[in-house]
Structure 1
Amino acid sequence: MAKIEIPDDLLRLQRAANAARVEATRHDYTAEAWRPWVEAAAVVQNAMAEHATAAGVNRYELEMAVKKAAREADATPGTLSIQG
């Protein structure tokens, strides 16, 4: 797999979706409680599909690279802040 450049906006969106997942799973399932996670996941998926098409990269490989980078950034506090 070739090295994929990850735009900061995709990394921020993925980290926001990860944070929304953590918050959602702190509660019992209700559509209302989990809506922010579902919506954040949809936003990041759409952004990754658009970027993959525009950059001519494999969407699956881009998604895996973004998710890995987001996990690594989340494990290293202070590497990127999410403005929301």
Structure 2
Amino acid sequence: MRENLLFFGIDEPSDEKTVIDCESNLNTFLKDTLHITEDIEFDRVHRLGRKNNKPGPRPIVAKFSRFKQRELVRSTAILKVL
């Protein structure tokens, strides 16, 4: 769990059916919203829970390949929120 981060509020398009789609949506979020230009490597990226009629998108859990990249994303996200 040390290499994982949870992402909430990232839009879930209706055509997102594979893990590859989820990873590309997360990469787009990192580049567009957090302005991270470094290529981030993931071991695994997926949505939590089952897709159902609940309002709002499901959270994304991402396992990073490198701890330093995880810390870069975490610290950048904290600075953007403040």
TM-score where L is the length of structure 1: 0.31
Greater fraction of residues in helix: 1
Higher strand share: 2
Give the TM-score taking structure 2 as reference length: 0.32
